[in-house]
A and B are shown apart, each in its own frame.
Chain A
Amino acid sequence: MRTTVPVVIAFLSGLVLAVSIFFRPDKTIIGQIEPEILVWVTIVGGFTLFLGAVSITRVNFNTVRRRKKGWGYSLLTLISVFVMALPSLLPSSWSPLFGDAEGSIYDWLFQYLDKPMMATMFGILAFYIASAAYRAFRARSAEATILLLTATLVMLWRVPMGEAFLRSIHVALPELINTYVMNGVNMAVQRGIIIGAALGAASMSLRIILGIERTYMGKG
């Protein structure tokens, strides 16, 4: 019972969706199923919002209650969750501070705290890209040398001085990099990886539909 029902459900939902793509939505019920089921999946996911909130609350609450190291930070996280979430759940007809419209607590916190935090995290990428390049681009092997040479060449090409330098070697060099490296080799490799990964994903999907792969329902 505990394994059979999930296996059957996975099989049915998988098969229906796989088949529905071959039927016209305006002519058959089965053809209409695909978009409908996608909404269903979203709805199931929507309910889990409480599970997420429960998980983050429990982890942090336990830290605070047991006065574990850094419990102050956990308290802060707890407060932040509720300050953000609660007003957004209340109807905006009660007060302009509730709901999620402009002027609400939810919107203010998002605009002035969340947004700059996100932007700054993105800004850190520039530092990391430099240190990763410095450390990883060493000519340790033939492959590593190829990697570092192409990266350097492309980086040169992307800034004015570098491009002028490349043009001074040969007028058509920037064009050549664009044609043969970016649209040639790069595209071919991306295509190869995409085809391979798609086969892997399809075979994984098949194993799930047929119940061969069911780590998630109590069978390894």
Chain B
Amino acid sequence: MLKNFKIILIPITVFFLFLFLTVEPVLAQGGEESAFRLERINALVFVLVFSAAVLLYTRWAKQGKTLFVRKIPGIDAVEEAVGRATEMGKPVLFIPGLQELDDIETIAAISILGRVAKITAQYETPLLVPVRYPLVLAAGQEVVEQAYTEMGKRDFYNRDIVRYVAGEQMAFTSTVNGMMMRERPAANIFMGAFFAEALLLAETGNAAGSIQIAGTARPEQLPFFIAACDYTLMGEELYAASSYLSKEPLMLGGLKGQDFIKVIIIILILIGVILVSFDVGDWYYKLFKMA
């Protein structure tokens, strides 16, 4: 682990050198406005505090401090669902959302896929991962192959586990719907960014009699997942899932850091409400201005 920190230090140095070189000529020009966006200093402070909190908790975790995280029912259900699929001898279907890899929700989904693939590898349960974008295909193949190799089940890996199905949203949906009715997966896991197809997929899966677990950060699709799935991870829980499933203390650090910031946010909002209510909060209100 120490080795890794050295790796990180080198680029930081390079980066700051680079930064210096680009800022310097601009400062020399002299100008009415500085090169740095001073008006965004609030965001910078916020990002730094946030990062510090996450890193601090991660460090404590590494030092062996036990970090408590409550049970999250939807995530616990993932393992159960794979177990049921194994008993029934039927596949598990995993859909990492319908966005490209340049959406953080998709990255969260890919990371959860890595954990799920380990479980299916362990039980030797067939896994099906249809994807809509080729970059997601590449990342998905990478994590699944890795998971199977790590569990010593390379023989069960085949690169068509993760397959590109169709580029267009509704073409993807119609193909996956057909897949659900024909292959009858025992469990469907939907994680990531979903749009109008959320209900189309979940309702078909329900008709096919599969156990369904969904997770998305998009509030507008959550009602439909809740109506048609057995378990739904809402918003933040999607991002928590990969840490939680990994069961590594290091990963839980991030979760604890988030919680710490959440408490701070609640306190800041309450202070704001009180100040604004008594009409003395103008300066405070402006501190949170997005520029």
Direct contact between A and B in the complex (CB less than 8 angstroms)?
yes
Chain-A contact segment, one of B50-58, B66-74, B281-289? B50-58
Q: A8–B250 contact, CB under 8 A? A: no
Give CA–CA (A8, B4) in the complex, Å: 10
Which A residues lie within 8 Å of B107 (CB)?
204, 208
Least CB distance, B90 to chain A, in whole angstroms = 16
Q: B235–A196 contact, CB under 8 A? A: yes
Give CA–CA (A133, B203) in the complex, Å: 11
Q: B37–A121 contact, CB under 8 A? A: no
Q: Which of B36, B227, B239, B258 contacts A22 (CB 8 A)?
A: B36
Chain-B contact segment, one of A9-17, A98-106, A164-172, A174-182? A9-17
Give CA–CA (A104, B152) in the complex, Å: 51
Give CA–CA (A206, B105) in the complex, Å: 14
The answer to whether the Cβ of B19 comes within 8 Å of any Cβ in the partner chain is yes
Q: Which of B10, B37, B217 contacts A23 (CB 8 A)?
A: B37
Number of A-B contacts (CB under 8 A): 230
Which A residues lie within 8 Å of B211 (CB)?
none
Most chain B beta-carbon contacts within 10 A, residue among A27, A29, A133 = A27
Q: A212–B250 contact, CB under 8 A? A: yes
Interface size class on chain B is 35 or more
Q: Which of A70, A132, A197, A213 contacts B199 (CB 8 A)?
A: A132
Residue interface mask B70-101, A partner, CB < 8 A = 1: 00000000000000000000000000000011
Which A residues lie within 8 Å of B168 (CB)?
114, 118
Q: B37–A22 contact, CB under 8 A? A: yes
CB under 8 Å from chain B, chain A span 103-135: 114, 117-118, 121-122, 124-125, 128-129, 131-133, 135
Give CA–CA (A207, B163) in the complex, Å: 27
Q: A15–B11 contact, CB under 8 A? A: yes
Q: A206–B146 contact, CB under 8 A? A: no
The answer to whether the Cβ of A96 comes within 8 Å of any Cβ in the partner chain is no
CB under 8 Å from chain A, chain B span 167-181: 167-171, 173-174
Q: B26–A27 contact, CB under 8 A? A: yes
Least CB distance, B91 to chain A, in whole angstroms = 15
Q: Which of B160, B173, B242, B255 contacts A213 (CB 8 A)?
A: B242
Which A residues lie within 8 Å of B54 (CB)?
203, 206-207
The interface of chain B, by Cβ under 8 A from chain A, is 4, 7-8, 10-12, 15, 18-19, 22-23, 26, 29, 31, 33-37, 40, 43-44, 47, 50-51, 54-55, 58, 100-102, 104-105, 107-108, 110-111, 114-115, 118, 133-135, 137-139, 142-143, 146-147, 150, 160, 163-171, 173-174, 182, 196, 199-200, 202-204, 206, 217, 219, 222, 224, 226-228, 234-240, 242, 246, 250-251, 254-255, 257-258, 261-262, 265
Jot down 8 A-B pairs with beta carbons below 8 A, ordered by A. Answer: A11-B8, A24-B34, A28-B22, A52-B137, A55-B163, A118-B168, A195-B265, A212-B251
Q: Which A-B residue pairs are the 7 nearest by beta carbons?
A: A200-B239, A48-B134, A52-B134, A215-B114, A136-B227, A196-B236, A197-B235
